[in-house]
């Protein structure tokens, strides 16, 4: 089955797999994509919070 590659990604799949393997686990083929979706949702939420506070700068505490 051909993988669907996303143009823009927030995570690097190789680094995710390296991290998981370093912790003596195996990474599923869908892990990086699922993590990428979670990061995107987290960032959307942070941007929304910054806008609600009338700021254009998203800060760490918006997460």
* Extents of the domains making up the chain: 29-63
Which pLDDT score is estimated for 51? Answer: 98
| Residues 6 or more apart in contact with residue 35 via CB below 8 angstroms | 11, 16
Which pLDDT score is estimated for 48? Answer: 98
Which pLDDT score is estimated for 6? Answer: 56
Which pLDDT score is estimated for 8? Answer: 86
Q: The whole model's pTM is what?
A: 0.80
Check: CB of residue 11 under 8 Å from CB of residue 39. Answer: yes
Task: Per-residue pLDDT tens, the chain, 63 aa: give them.
Answer: 555 655 789 999 999 999 999 999 999 999 999 999 999 999 999 999 999 999 999 999 999
């Amino acid at each position: 089955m051909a993988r669907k590659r996303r143009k823009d990604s927030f995570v690097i799949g190789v680094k995710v797999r390296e991290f998981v393997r370093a912790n003596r686990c195996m990474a599923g083929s869908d892990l990086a994509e699922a993590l990428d979706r979670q990061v995107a949702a987290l960032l959307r939420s942070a941007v929304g919070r910054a806008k609600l506070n009338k700021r254009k700068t998203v800060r760490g505490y918006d997460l």
